[in-house]
Structure 1
Amino acid sequence: MVSARPKPGNNGSFLKPKLENQVGKRALHNGVAFNRVVFTEEWYANRRQIEEALSSYRRLLVDRELLAKLEQETNLDGKKKSGLGVHMRAARVLEQLGKWVNTTKELGHVSCVKIGDEFHWRCELSIAGLHHDFQKGIVYMKLINGQSLATSIVDSGRYDNVEGNTPNTFTYCGQGENPNFGRKPKDQKLVGGSLALKNSFVSKMPVRVIRKVYNFDDSKTDFNSMAAGSEGNDCGYKFVYDGLYQVTKYWPERKGDSGTKVYRFLLKKIDEKEPEHDLGE
Structure 2
Amino acid sequence: MSLAIISPNRDITPWLEIFKKTAGDIPLEIYPNIKNPAEVSAVMLWQHPKGSLQPFPNLKLICSMGAGVDHILGDDTIPADIPITRIVDSRLTFSMTNYVVMGVLNHHRQILRYQADKQARKWDMSNPEIPVNVGVMGVGELGGDVLDKLSLLGINVYGYGNSPKPDFDHPYYYGEQLETFLSKCNVLVCLLPLTAQTDGILNIELFRKCTKGTYLINVARGKHLVEEDLITALEEGHLSGALLDVFQQEPLPKNHPFWEQEKISITPHIASITNPEAAAPQIIENYRNLENGLAFINQIDRKKGY
Shared topology, TM-score over 0.5? no
TM-score (ref. length: structure 2): 0.21
User: Would you tell me which structure has more helix in proportion to its own residues?
Assistant: 2
Q: Which has the higher contact order (CA 8 A, sep 6+)?
A: 1
User: Would you tell me which structure has more strand in proportion to its own residues?
Assistant: 1
TM-score (ref. length: structure 1): 0.23
